[in-house]
Structure 1
Amino acid sequence: MTAPHIERMKEELAQLADRTNKLSKFIAANPIFKQLPADERDLMRDQQRAMMEYHDALETRIDLAERSQ
């Protein structure tokens, strides 16, 4: 049985992955993105990178927590 705190992290990871995927698709394929001001596009790319870093950190935390169980 997985500990409750690990389950919460896994749920958070799944939600984050979904949001990151949606943002990435918007940046890559939505024509509206290209119409946004350059500073807003830059901020969205910054947000995307931060979300990916957060995803990696959370994934590592889950791995460590599961190994220590």
Structure 2
Amino acid sequence: MVRSLRNVSNDGIELNDTEVEEAFNDLADIMDTMMTNNCGFDKAVKLERKADEGFGEWLEAALLAIGYR
């Protein structure tokens, strides 16, 4: 996912530079949540979105680009 965010134009993810930086911050938050709650990626995303409904709007496009979903 990090590689996809670094090369958004190659993977068809339409984000500008500011949005990419925000996506990296969101990804760091997801990783922190995974560690602090001892959970997997999907649960961490659900927890983050419970706190912030608009969290990680970029996620679906990135996950599709890497073949996760």
Give the TM bin, normalised by the shorter chain: 0.3 to 0.5
Query: Greater helix percent: which structure?
Result: 1
TM-score by length of 1: 0.40
Higher relative contact order (CA 8 A, sep 6+): 1
Higher gyration radius (CA): 1
TM-score by length of 2: 0.40
